[in-house]
Amino acid sequence: MSTPAPYVRAHVPDKRTVLQDVFGYDNFRPGQEEIIDTILSGTSVLAVMPTGAGKSLCFQVPALAMEGLTIVVSPLVALMQDQVSALKLAGVAAEAIHSNQDREVNVEAWQRVAGGETRILYMAPERLMTDRMLNALSRLDIALFAIDEAHCMSQWGPSFRPEYAALSNLTQHFPTVPIAAMTATAAHCRSARTSP
């Protein structure tokens, strides 16, 4: 008898079940459902939404309504920690791997990811865009890349954080995996739209 592939579950809930059972909302906010449907269709998307409009749900709901691992790229450790803590409180198997944690903590988190126990993994672009990490992720079932604060790709990428600009190379490594780029900052969207 063959062993099931990592991350494959007997039943994958639909988006509304995830919205209600995991996040406790009865309805989507304006714009959310269209973005979620685009991601679930396997199409990459750039979403420019005001602060507080629920950008995180736009990638968290698909992450739980698809088979596979979702990688969330975030520029701030505090933001990663807040979102991971909230997801864990909601019963979601989420992890963060970053430089502010002890190596042992990161190793244990990665072991859960590699073992198929994690649904959503948060990382900074500097951690993601290394040959070692990209090679390790290529052996897993990646469902989605979500780039939070995507304006950083054009606004900061060329000078302050070059790894943000390097995120445009994700499509070369994972050509079939959709990318959801999320931002509340409309400036530089022309650059951001072409980068993913």
Write the DSSP assignment of 70-136 as a string of letters.
EEEE-S-HHHHHHHHHHHHHTT--EEEE-TTS-HHHHHHHHHHHHTT--SEEEE-HHHHSSHHHHHH
Note the pLDDT of residue 115.
Answer: 95
Tokens found for residue 102: 């002890």
Answer yes or no: is pLDDT of 140 > 50.
Answer: yes
Average pLDDT, the chain: 83
- Please tell me what DSSP assigns to residue 166: H
The pLDDT value given to residue 126: 87
The radius of gyration of the chain's CA atoms, rounded to the nearest angstrom, is: 16
The predicted structure's pLDDT at residue 162: 66
Q: Does 194 have pLDDT greater than 80?
A: no
Q: What's the mean pLDDT in 127-149?
A: 93
Task: Judge whether residue 177 has pLDDT over 60.
Answer: yes
Residue 45 to residue 99: CA distance in whole angstroms: 29
Instruction: Report the b/e string of 46-67 with b at 16+ CB within 10 A.
Output: bbbbeeebbbbbbbbbbbbbbe
Q: What does the pLDDT read at residue 161?
A: 63
Residue 9: the pLDDT is 40
Whole-angstrom distance, CA of residue 42 vs CA of residue 6: 19
What token pair was written down for 113? Answer: 């990811």
Interval 18-50: pLDDT, tens: 999 999 999 999 999 999 999 999 999 998 887
Give residue 67's pLDDT: 93
CB 118 within 8 A of CB 93: yes
- Per-residue pLDDT, averaged over 51-63, amounts to 89
The three-point CA angle 127-132-138 to 5° equals: 100
Burial of 16 (0-12, 13-18, 19+ CB in 10 A): middle
